[in-house]
Amino acid sequence: MSTHRADGRLQRRSAPETVGSRDGQLQRRSAPETVSSGNDGYPVLTVQLRDPIIADGGKRVSNRDDFFALLSGERPDRLPCCHFGFWDEKSLHKLAPPDCVDENILCMPSDDPPRDAFSAAPRTDESRERAVRLARHLDTAFIGVGKGGVTTFGHGGPAEIQPRVIERTPDCKILQYEGGHKRRVNYNPHSIHYYDFPVKEQSDLETLQLPDMTDPWRYIDVEEDCRRFKEAGFIPTASIQGFFSGIHNSFMDFEDTLVNLMIEPDFMSRLTEILARMSLSAVDMVMDRGVEVIDVCDDLGNRDGMIISPELFRRFFLPWYSELVQLVHRRGGYVHLHSHGNIAPVMEDIASIGVDIVNPFDWEENPDLPSLVERYGDRIVFCGGIVGDLYRRPPEEVERIMRRAAGLARLASRGFIFRGPAGIDTLSVEEWEQWGRMSLEARSSA
């Protein structure tokens, strides 16, 4: 059943039939809780941690059900969470329980155990169970499909270009991606350097070698991933590269990209179309196999404003976002756009084409975030409100920031999704677990 109107906006959608209900309405039993007032005036809710999918009448309400309840206009007992997972593999191994971890979680072939590429063999049931256990550990509503695609907005999975390790040293590994460019991943400290881009001038488009995104073998794991993740109470997602950042991350030097957008518009229009059509064909393939949300990571700004002018965004990239939204909505799915920075100048454009969810909205990059939520919250589900350097803050400030983020839900008439902050290896396991408790308390008090 379609979940979108002809104008691209979401219609009210009933929650899945598996939800415990009376007269068609979701019923939930709240966790035991006490409420007191914090020093800064925010309500402090103490919640007894519970099985995340226990509901009224002995039936179960899952993270998946909370997400669909939100989209249908309900207000679930706690805000759904979209968790960003971990900064790198070192953080994953340190902070996640061992039975949640395998070589298919993160977007790059693993160092522990060492792998040069993701296996071509079908994914095992145990690998899927580890992904489900990790999602429960993070208390997220979403699991990405495919090897390397598990963490939300992790730049991995079969609908993105895939890497292969071509060199390892004690300090770094070097990967080469489909299409040709390379990335050097430095370990201490963690950083990534992008280089050897394949497109420097227009004639390079004739020799550009891209993966066949319509090859069914590429998606051998996706249908069973979707079935298992839905059964476990999560939303299966797939990532595609951003129409802007996909160019300068993987195909053309960043400075050349900016210059060519201004002085070589025909060249850039052609390159943008080639890459966009590659990604759109991947969207068809993953949605054929049961994916419900398409994630697009496309950093359009920083704290000072847009990286490119709103006019360039509208000319080169907005039409492709409009086509993506129409494609996904026709198939009953949702588009979730990730962009750092203060992108207020193009929020009306993003809302007007029907993008469903936008994140992360770092409060320090968008100091007027409450006004943005009030202005566009009737058309867009906002996700975020956390700050990027949360790991540098003391626990009491982390708690305040999380409660402030969850409080944005009161301004969001369409609904609000809490953004779970990524774990970094400077955190102790105790601090990481404390973050999880703070997150649940903040989401339950919103």
The pLDDT tens digits for 333-379 are 999 999 999 999 999 999 999 999 999 888 888 878 999 999 999 99
pLDDT classification of 404: cutoffs 50, 70, 90: very high
| Degrees, nearest 5: CA angle 405-411-417 | 50
The pLDDT tens digits for 260-286 are 999 999 999 999 999 999 999 999 999
Structure tokens at 198: 């394949």
Domains of the chain: 70-160+212-445 (3.20.20.210)
191, pLDDT greater than 50 = yes
Where does 331-412 have alpha helices with state H? Answer: 347-352, 369-376, 395-407
The pLDDT tens digits for 25-66 are 333 333 333 333 333 333 333 333 334 444 344 445 799 999
Return the pLDDT at 54.
40
Cis ω for the linkage preceding 360 (within 30 of 0): yes
Which pTM value belongs to this model?
0.87
Return the pLDDT at 361.
82
Residue pair 404/446 in contact by the 8 Å Cβ criterion: no
Distance, in Å, from the CA atom of 109 to the CA atom of 113, rounded to the nearest integer, reads 9
